[in-house]
Amino acid sequence: MAAIKIYRGDTWQRAWIIKDGAGNPVDLTGAAARLHVRDADGVKVMEASTADGRLTLQSAAGRIDLVMPASATAVAPASYRFDIEVTYPSGVRITYEQATLLVMEDMSRD
């Protein structure tokens, strides 16, 4: 998978549609999701979750929406790693994506 690219200090918005093996949306009712972004040393530099409201679930549609505020993406331009995982009410935890986040330098900044 290609790296996800964002500019430092911009709002990062993204959506995931979680589907089962038959291609149907997975019911996310009662689930919780979290996303961590870490640097090369494993230090967490950004995070989002259903608890903090940066991740929201459209349960019947199997959709997870991310809105990471600009203040959270104001990190050093670099290559980072992230994953998104869902914990279901049964206690089952599944990581649905792990990828590279490339934070690029912005020219319009204070």
Domain with 60 in it: what CATH number? 2.60.40.10
In a domain, 53, yes or no: yes
Would the pLDDT of 1 be above 80?
A: no
Q: State the pLDDT at residue 2.
A: 77
Distance, CA of 11 to chain centre: 12
Q: What average pLDDT does the segment 52-73 reach? A: 96
In a domain, 110, yes or no: no
Separation CA 23–CA 97 (nearest Å): 17
Q: For 80-102, what is each residue's pLDDT tens digit?
A: 999 999 999 999 999 999 999 99
pTM to 2 decimals? Answer: 0.91
Asked if residue 98 lies in contact with residue 82, where contact means CB atoms within 8 angstroms, the answer is: yes
In a domain, 28, yes or no: yes
Percentage with pLDDT > 90 across the chain: 93
In a domain, 51, yes or no: yes
In a domain, 109, yes or no: no
Using alpha carbons only, what angle is made at residue 93 by residues 32 and 13, rounded to the nearest 5 degrees? 50
Residue 75, domain extent: 4-104
In a domain, 54, yes or no: yes
Q: What average pLDDT does the segment 54-76 reach? A: 96
What single-letter DSSP state applies at residue 25?
A: B
In a domain, 66, yes or no: yes
Q: For 9-60, what is each residue's pLDDT tens digit?
A: 999 999 999 999 999 999 999 999 999 999 999 999 999 999 999 999 999 9
